């Protein structure tokens, strides 16, 4: 899930957040919460997967500077 998709979910659920129906409001908050967690989890996975390349790039840069 991307930030754009999260934004779309928030906007689609926003009108329900002001509802007087507690169940509808809770369901909307749950949908937003699940989407936000998915975005955060994906960001962590992406960072973890990119870490070896980032470390290798830093090492290469340090080696250039020290030589």
How many Å apart are CA 32 and CA 58, to the nearest integer?
37
What letter would DSSP give residue 48? H
Mean pLDDT by 10 residues, the chain (67 residues): 84 82 89 91 88 76 65
Say how many CA atoms lie within 13 Å of 15 toward its Cβ.
2
Q: Residues 7, 36: contact at Cβ < 8 Å?
A: no
This prediction's pTM: 0.64
């Amino acid at each position: 899930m991307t930030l754009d998709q999260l934004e779309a979910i928030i906007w689609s659920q926003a009108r329900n957040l002001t509802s007087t129906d507690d169940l509808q409001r809770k369901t909307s908050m749950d949908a937003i919460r699940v989407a936000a967690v998915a975005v955060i989890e994906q960001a962590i996975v992406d960072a973890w997967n990119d870490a070896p390349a980032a470390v290798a790039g830093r090492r290469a840069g340090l080696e250039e500077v020290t030589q």
